[in-house]
Structure 1
Amino acid sequence: MITLTATLPCGLPPAWAVWERHLFALLDEAVTPFWGKYLRPDGRLIWRAKMEETWQPRDGVDDFYEAVYNWPLLYLLGGGDHLLTRSHTAWEGITAQLTEMGMLKDDFDIGYDQFHISEGQLFFDFLCMADPTNQAMIARARRFAGWYLNEDPAALNYDPQRQIIRAPHTGSSGPRWGYLTDEPPTFPWAAAMRRYGLPFSDVPGVTTYDDLRDPAQAAAMGAAVQARMGRGDVATNLLATTIVANAALLTGETKYTEWIATYVAAWQQRAQANGGVLPDNVGLSGEVGEYLAGKWYGGLYGWTWPHGFHNIGAAAFVAAANAFVLTRDARFLALPRDQLRAIMGHGEMRDGDPSDMTLHHHWASIFAALDPPHTTWLIPYRYGDGGWFDYQPLPPSYPISLWALSMALGDAQAITHLREVGRYDWRQVFAMRTKEDSGHEAPWFTFLAGENPEYPVTILAQAC
């Protein structure tokens, strides 16, 4: 860490600076007791049951890494040097642990969806940012990216002719065909998934989610899911661009940038052919809707199930940001902009009941700021055979992120529009934390706009 020595007295430091240093001190100290309770000296996680015997054979590794994923980020922001050392030890230990469980090969997921792979890779990405000259991490970044550039003949995840990633589940072992592991495949009823409904509405005999309690109906849905979601490219695979972008940033090699630009441009062309809306599935022949009777919707983590725009929007934004940062070509930003326009064009003023929303836990700050009956502007998150549905708030993070990259007037106007129709005070700060550490973008934005001067002290005091 570089040490700066001040030579001029600053007088009384501002309150936000005092709170910030206090928070850093708390977090620096919290690492030691956390490690003692949840990690072994070599960085492996401690769990009560023998996870090797209870873990599902096809599942993501994100939850394991997420226990400590933000430690390198804290180090980058000004935390202690011990955070970097601890982060390396934890990453190595957890990676070895997951490899022994058969979930990783060559330090990477053997094959899963990019929604969850990306969550798990945050720890690795932050660690690379915090220690960008670490040769072992650079070698891993090259290897990880190489699986999508077909540099490993045993893991050919990409079809360069059709410009598609070949399966919804991919990784260090190449395409992992199918979506379900059971043979024959089954899609049983699960309490946690009930709120999202059925993946498909055209499976004979399965008309409601509760029909899946019947093993025969669960088998019918399982067969449909396996056939329709188990091969070809999906829009959520756009998140794989971050794996390649990490290698580009660490090495400066143009082959990574070229791959990202080509892959994102291919998806942009498909969106343009679909009226600007990003289709969520492409067959192995390169045809949109190949396994879904020609439908542009219905792919894994696509517009229909389970989260819709929550996944599609994130994938479009992340891919466009990667392409733009590496090429400086602002045309890539049209991809997320068009998705925003599409769903905002279907927005409506409604009396919102968060308990009826599939992502209700994301909107705590918005509904806390609204008076009953919680009338606000909602947009459809999903699209199925019956059209647009699942109306929920549009978080400010999407248009703000786009504007932060483009600095375009039109993108700034979209933020203004969202603020006006939302009918709640963006300056309010609530003591809360969501799964994505999100929900505070609105008061932060108003602080940047000069309208919320107390925001830094308020948010830091809440965190402490």
Structure 2
Amino acid sequence: MSRFEAVRSVSTPPEWAVSQRRLFDVSTEAVEDFVEHYFDEDGDPLWPPEDYVGLDGSDDIIEGFYNWPLVYAMGGDDRLLEYATEKYEAAIDVLSETETPYGHPMYVDEFDQCRDWFHLGEGNLYTYNMGLADPGDDTVVERAERFASLYFGDSETGNYDAEKRLVRGPQNGSMGPDFCDFEKYEHHGYGADYRWYRHSLPWRDIEEFDEAADLHDPANEERLFEVLNERCSTGDIPLNLNVTSLMTNAYLHTGDEEYREWVFDYIEAWRERTAENGGIIPDNVSRDGEIGGVAGQWYGGYYGWSWGGWHYIGIGPTVAAENAVLLDGDREYLDFPRSQLDILMENGIEVSSDAVHDTLHIPHKYGDPGNYHYNASGVLREDDGEVKYEDGWYEFQTHKDDPYAIHLWYMSQSEADRERVRSLRDWGKQDWRRVDPRAKTKHADGQEYAWLAYLDGDFEDYPERIMDASHAQVQERRALMREEGFAPEDPDEDYLRDRNPVCEKGLLQLTMGAPQPVYYGGLVMAQVRHFDVGEGRPGLPEGVAALVEDVTPDGIELTLVNVGGRDREMIVQAGAYGEHEFGTVRDDDGREVEVDGSELEVSIPSGTRLSLSAEMERFVNDPSYEQPAALE
């Protein structure tokens, strides 16, 4: 293994390095308070109550601690892993005893009984993060294999039809896809306003509904649930492409080809459907493989083009393409999500944002002419600068904080994808050279564009500012806990998620050169990963901070600083899973080494720093959770 040693002394450590190391410590301290006060005397979550019967909320409980293993894997304290493991086991036990209207519990065999992959994706982030944190835990590996097996064609669940290469229902899980009955949502978690009122009605041909507000009327519940069961309870939808993460996770643990092949078979099936549908991914496919065979046309399905639109449609193709590239190395898979974004951009319109710039507004939804809240004429119309409807496309908006374009660039490293991100910039929103500590959207945290500005050289103090924002989020959560006396008055399913004090997004960007994974079920995709040789564990050694200062198609710039009091030995790995390979690596003293491998050994004494310029060939190695042999 190639070895580098830090020899440059640091009399005053950089602000970002001190703040980064302090964030690891503060996060652990906050988690200790969180664990002490927000679980009962047996260590169980305070929700759901004993008499609860329902369908929703299991993912929200797991989201209360899903990122603790990830922060541990980046260099956090051992207690983060211990607490996360303990609370996950407690959550499984509770959810396995929480009843649903179907006569079986929420969790069956430790997996959600029947939910959509928006929620299953969120709940399984913990599962994927444990692969990075503790791949040697036999229970972690066994669960990864067992969860993936739920989606094999020969599984008793009936989730997957291997011959037709389709998931047989929009909601699926350990009990299969046939427990999707929207009438059960009445009085068991949601009323008639469940998601449809907020996102507008997906259909125009239901005579009982004259306007979108009718969805909010409980008197219409019975008819609404009838229509939902008719058009949204069976067949395949793009969101099911998130199952590829479950399969990729199992592959990273085992290297078994059956998981890898499943990913490629399923993504290819969806690409064929997209081509057959004129280049636009359909949002519903019946169990016999017919496009539009559930909703009556290619749009109008569950979480589809007429429902939540691009925000939900973009999840599955992006996640699946990332997984395929990770497993195969062929960037051509990125054409799948890219083609969908390009269609939206081609149908977009420039709207003046200020005296200098126009902002591209892309359509986020597709539906029948005259969709609720929009002009029924079917022609382009502007109302106070807002485009309403054109040729079936509607809800023209900025790309908002959806991360799909950023993930395309990150995976491809192509200038064309980087320019695509720039062309979607919302000039009417915050300056890319500013970090907003209030921005806490789950899927991107509102800071990805500021990070890109830093990588472009336009936001020099971003590392300090993102650490400030991360500290602010931890302290805001602690302030909330103090204000309520460390006891929520009426815990609901969100109570843990809304108080989780751990903030991982800035740490991912700085230490691993990684964007926030697609929150609804994506895996971590990173430039580098670090390991502590002295402790034989993943993550930066105690006292060591890392900063990926540049990411280019040719490689990265990385700086390591030891702000602690002890000399440290560490390994830098190319990629989160060893999928990349270092070429020529130069240090700040001019030493140049041809590495031609995925690992670098670094000796970094106390009070020193080391800067490396590393050429990198991406996605050329078989990815694995296996840790470097030097840790053993």
**How far apart are residue 189 of structure 1 and its match?**
3.8
Q: Secondary structure at the match of 2:95?
A: helix
**How far apart are residue 453 of structure 1 and its match?**
0.8
2:346 alignment partner in structure 1? 345
Q: Secondary structure at the match of 2:65?
A: coil
Higher normalized contact order (CA 8 Å, seq sep 6+, divided by chain length): 2
**How far apart are residue 22 of structure 1 and its match?**
1.6
Q: Which runs of 5+ in 1 are unaligned?
A: 352-369
2:74 alignment partner in structure 1? 77
| Deviation digits for residues 167-191 of structure 1 (CA, Å, limit 9, x no counterpart) | 1111111223434143999995438
Q: Please give the alpha-carbon distance, in whole angstroms, between the structure 2 residues aligned to 1:183 and 1:92.
A: 27
Fraction of identical pairs, as percent: 37
| Deviation digits for residues 194-247 of structure 1 (CA, Å, limit 9, x no counterpart) | 332223221112121222455564322221110111111111101111111110
**How far apart are residue 19 of structure 1 and its match?**
1.1
* 2:359/2:426 contact within 8 Å kept: no
Q: Please give the alpha-carbon distance, in whole angstroms, between the structure 2 residues aligned to 1:319 and 1:206.
A: 36
Q: Secondary structure at the match of 1:246?
A: helix
Q: Secondary structure at the match of 2:206?
A: coil
Matches within 5 A, 1:271-282: 271-282=274-285
TM-score by structure 1 length? 0.87
| Deviation digits for residues 396-441 of structure 1 (CA, Å, limit 9, x no counterpart) | 7322210111122321221232248778632222112223352101
Q: Secondary structure at the match of 1:53?
A: coil
* 1:180/1:226 contact within 8 Å kept: yes
Amino acid across the alignment from 1:30: A
After TM superposition, where is structure 1 displaced by more than 4 Å over at least 4 residues in a row?
4-8, 183-188, 213-216, 420-424
Q: Which has the larger radius of gyration?
A: 2
Cα distance change of structure 1 residues 259 and 17 upon mapping to structure 2, 3 Å threshold: same
2:408 alignment partner in structure 1? 402
Q: Secondary structure at the match of 1:24?
A: helix
**How far apart are residue 11 of structure 1 and its match?**
2.3
2:32 alignment partner in structure 1? 32
Cα distance change of structure 1 residues 203 and 5 upon mapping to structure 2, 3 Å threshold: same
Q: Secondary structure at the match of 1:51?
A: coil
**How far apart are residue 6 of structure 1 and its match?**
7.4
2:321 alignment partner in structure 1? 320
1:429 is the counterpart of 2:435: yes
Q: Which moved more, 1:257-266 or 1:211-220?
A: 211-220
The alignment covers a number of residue pairs equal to 437
* 1:188/1:212 contact within 8 Å kept: no
2:102 alignment partner in structure 1? none
Decide which of 178, 198, 208 is 1:195's aligned counterpart. 198
2:359 alignment partner in structure 1? 376
Q: Please give the alpha-carbon distance, in whole angstroms, between the structure 1 residues aligned to 2:273 and 2:313.
A: 14
Q: Please give the alpha-carbon distance, in whole angstroms, between the structure 1 residues aligned to 2:322 and 2:46.
A: 36
2:394 alignment partner in structure 1? 389
Amino acid across the alignment from 1:417: S
Q: Secondary structure at the match of 2:124?
A: helix
2:172 alignment partner in structure 1? 170
Q: Please give the alpha-carbon distance, in whole angstroms, between the structure 2 residues aligned to 1:88 and 1:382.
A: 40
Q: Which moved more, 1:182-191 or 1:35-44?
A: 182-191
Q: Secondary structure at the match of 1:286?
A: coil
Q: Which runs of 5+ in 2 are unaligned?
A: 99-104, 370-391, 472-632
Q: Which moved more, 1:79-88 or 1:389-398?
A: 389-398
Cα distance change of structure 1 residues 380 and 51 upon mapping to structure 2, 3 Å threshold: farther
1:92 is the counterpart of 2:89: yes
Q: Please give the alpha-carbon distance, in whole angstroms, between the structure 1 residues aligned to 2:207 and 2:301.
A: 19
Q: Please give the alpha-carbon distance, in whole angstroms, between the structure 1 residues aligned to 2:260 and 2:466.
A: 37
Cα distance change of structure 1 residues 403 and 215 upon mapping to structure 2, 3 Å threshold: closer
Q: Which moved more, 1:449-458 or 1:417-426?
A: 417-426
Q: Please give the alpha-carbon distance, in whole angstroms, between the structure 1 residues aligned to 2:292 and 2:187.
A: 22
2:446 alignment partner in structure 1? 439
Q: Please give the alpha-carbon distance, in whole angstroms, between the structure 1 residues aligned to 2:292 and 2:196.
A: 25
TM-score by structure 2 length? 0.65
* 1:178/1:227 contact within 8 Å kept: no
| Deviation digits for residues 331-381 of structure 1 (CA, Å, limit 9, x no counterpart) | 211111011101111222347xxxxxxxxxxxxxxxxxx779x97332111
Q: Secondary structure at the match of 2:182?
A: coil
Q: Which one has the bigger strand percentage?
A: 2
**How far apart are residue 5 of structure 1 and its match?**
11
Cα distance change of structure 1 residues 308 and 54 upon mapping to structure 2, 3 Å threshold: same
| Deviation digits for residues 78-134 of structure 1 (CA, Å, limit 9, x no counterpart) | 110111111110111111110111100111011110110000111121122210111
1:414 alignment partner in structure 2? 420
Q: Secondary structure at the match of 1:379?
A: strand
* 1:378/1:392 contact within 8 Å kept: yes
Q: Please give the alpha-carbon distance, in whole angstroms, between the structure 2 residues aligned to 1:191 and 1:288.
A: 26
1:17 alignment partner in structure 2? 17
1:448 is the counterpart of 2:455: yes
Matches within 5 A, 1:180-191: 180-182=182-184, 188-190=191-193
Q: Secondary structure at the match of 1:349?
A: strand
2:312 alignment partner in structure 1? 311
* 1:377/1:422 contact within 8 Å kept: no
| Deviation digits for residues 68-87 of structure 1 (CA, Å, limit 9, x no counterpart) | 11111110121101111111
Q: Secondary structure at the match of 1:391?
A: strand
Amino acid across the alignment from 1:340: L
